[in-house]
Amino acid sequence: MRRTTVLALATLWLCSVADASAVAPVAMPASTDPLDSARWGDMATTFFAGRTVVFDARVQVTAPAIAEDSLNVPVFVDASELAGIEEVLVFADFNPILAALRFHPVKAKPALGFRLKLQQSSPVRAAARTADGVWHVGGTWVTATGGGCTAPSTGSGSPEWQERLNEVSGKIFSRSDGSERLRMRVIHPMDTGFAPGIPAFHIEELTLSDESGAELMRIQTYEPVSENPLFTIDMPAAGARVRARGRDNDGNRIDAWVTQ
């Protein structure tokens, strides 16, 4: 099995018959997986049955070629080169729970940094759906020692997480282009349910909004997101603070303000 660590996907160019100087970028159809994964057919059926799917280098997934810690693999997804992104799905072909995270950018940049668990070496992919219904897929191979999804969280064995469950901390940073970057952590064990005697327990949804209540981004998180999730989000200037609201799969609520 060939494992490439970067999604090497050249953009194709078609010339207009009417004007040979006019060109438009066209993504590759999803017939041959550039990451050469034996499970791509299963991924296409599971997530995109009946939908139009293209492999597209404009959907960038940045992750380490070799993961030092299978419980905490840093991933940054950026689909900002595409216009009209309505949602982005992140998944790993060889994880026992395929989907890691889904987000709707709303007013934020269609980009998100977070950490995930990997059970074994796998492509980590992001699929961005544009307003025309087309799914644009990018990804990268990550080599991992494994066991990230079956190991218990460190928090599950400590009474501290019960006292700090869903506690939010973070900061808003101003950027040179006038936008802002939010870095936010939520205390939660994010258990997958695969460790013996420990049921699945994870954050299900987060909504970020500005001071006026306008939504900036909606995030759905699944079991493979790492313990105590840390999110990096780029967004337009949102004022002095951002509100984070959500819940986990046991109904425990998240409601906190992150300030500059």
Inter-residue contact 123 to 141 (CB < 8 Å):
yes
What are the structure tokens assigned to 106, written together? 């709303």
What is the structure's pLDDT at 3?
40
Residue-level pLDDT at 28:
58
* 3-state secondary structure (DSSP) of residue 233: strand
pLDDT of residue 159: 74
For 190, other C-beta atoms within 10 Å of its C-beta total 26
Helix, strand or coil for residue 155?
Answer: helix
Question: What is the pLDDT, as a whole number, of residue 29?
Answer: 59
Taking the CB of residue 247, how many other CB atoms lie within 10 A of it? 15
Mean pLDDT per 10-residue run, the chain (260 residues)?
A: 34 29 43 92 96 96 97 98 97 98 98 98 98 97 94 78 90 91 96 94 97 96 98 89 97 95
- CA angle 207/210/211 to nearest 5° reads 125
SS3 of 84, please? Answer: coil
Torsion of CA 47, 49, 52, 56, to 10 degrees: 30
Reduced to 3 states, what is the DSSP secondary structure of residue 217? strand
The answer to whether 150 touches 156, Cβ cutoff 8 Å, is: no
Q: What is the pLDDT of residue 176?
A: 87
